[in-house]
Amino acid sequence: MKKLKIAQIAPLWFSIPPKKYGGIERIVHFLTEELVKRGHQVTLFASGDSKTKGKLISVVKKGLISQGIPWFDYTWNNFSAARALEMASEFDILHCHWGISTIFYQKFIKTPILYTFHNIPRENDHRWKIFEYYKNEILAVFVSKSEMRNCPVKFKKNWVVYNGIDLNQFKFNPEPNNHFVWIGRISPEKGIENVIKVAKRLKLKLLLAAQLQPMMKDYFEKEIRPNLNSRIHYVGELSQNQLSKFYGSAKALFYPIEWEEPFGLVMAEAMACGTPVIVFDRGSAREIVKDGKTGFVVKNITGIVKSIKKIDKISRQACRQRVEKYFTYQRMVSDYEKVYYEILKSKN
């Protein structure tokens, strides 16, 4: 197959790859580096503190969050997208991983733009009106079947490509300790209050790892910190090098999400270490976790309590094998390559 010239347009909130938090950024990193390895010419539009074997184009020196620029300020992200559009004729395809700014201008360029919806907006979000208007032009990738089903707009062309992780970064641990873990972002929708309730009810040892963003500090101080004690520990935000030990040493990962999770990388990461996942039946849960085989998909806190009693029946080897089969970054990149070639074939 012809080697392609590809633009990867990343969000600018964190570097590529991220030093700690940053699921989208990690996916863009895997995609960019593997495409380069496979012989494609890849240009990455990202923050200046990013590292890539492709060509890096940056409009800011470092990630926006580290500069104190808030999530709702899209000025620099729009500028980065504009730079990619200015260079559109130099690429076979542009792959956008954030926002909607490029949608407004895609009619004016010949190069196709592929959008990965890492997170779809809430149902009442005004952006859906824009998506509806441009639905016949949008080429959309969803990161799970559930995310595609939850999308209220049917685009011209849709694909599902599961996210992938680097298995070399996650060591399999067949002999965990007697504690449980939760990891995510400090936010009610990620279910942190639910896991604390379970730990308090059953007197479990629980480790909480999360990024604490400025807008959530009041929530943390009011709702989370008062519940921390000798058994329930907040260990802060972890680096990539710390994740494997964190997951692998646990009997199970709790993930009682309170929203329709598009994918949930932490579930794949935990299973890669052999750690079963107990997750609420929301979003992609049943696509990532094989209920009864690599964890338990439950409806409520009572379901979590019942699952804990059965957790030792889950094969930790089966957890690892599921990730090896479905959720590696190599498989993800192969699936994206197929999408690229399908788009270019239909264009011609």
Kindly give the pairing relationship between strand 139-142 and strand 206-211.
unpaired
Q: Is the pLDDT assigned to residue 123 strictly greater than 80?
A: no
Q: What percent of the chain has pLDDT over 70?
A: 100
Domains and CATH numbers, the chain: 5-164+329-347 (3.40.50.2000), 167-326 (3.40.50.2000)
Q: Is the pLDDT assigned to residue 348 strictly greater than 80?
A: no
Average predicted confidence (pLDDT) for the chain = 94
Residue 28 CB-density burial (10 A; 0-12 exposed, 13-18 middle, 19+ buried): buried
Q: State which H helix or E strand residue 156 sits in.
A: none
Q: Is the pLDDT assigned to residue 93 strictly greater than 90?
A: yes
pLDDT of residue 3: 97
As a whole number, mean pLDDT of residues 86-115 equals: 92
pLDDT band (50, 70, 90) for residue 156? confident
As a whole number, mean pLDDT of residues 46-59 equals: 98
DSSP state of 67: G
In sequence order, the β-bridge partners of residue 184 are 210
Distance CA 77, CA 148 (A): 25
Distance CA 51, CA 282 (A): 34
Q: Which residues contact 156 (CB under 8 A, 6 or more apart)?
A: 135, 136, 137, 138, 139
Q: Is the pLDDT assigned to residue 120 strictly greater than 90?
A: no
Weakest mean pLDDT among 118-122, 173-177, 178-182, 188-192:
118-122
Q: Is the pLDDT assigned to residue 346 strictly greater than 90?
A: no
Which has the closest alpha carbon to 94: 5, 189, 27, 183? 5
pLDDT of residue 100: 78
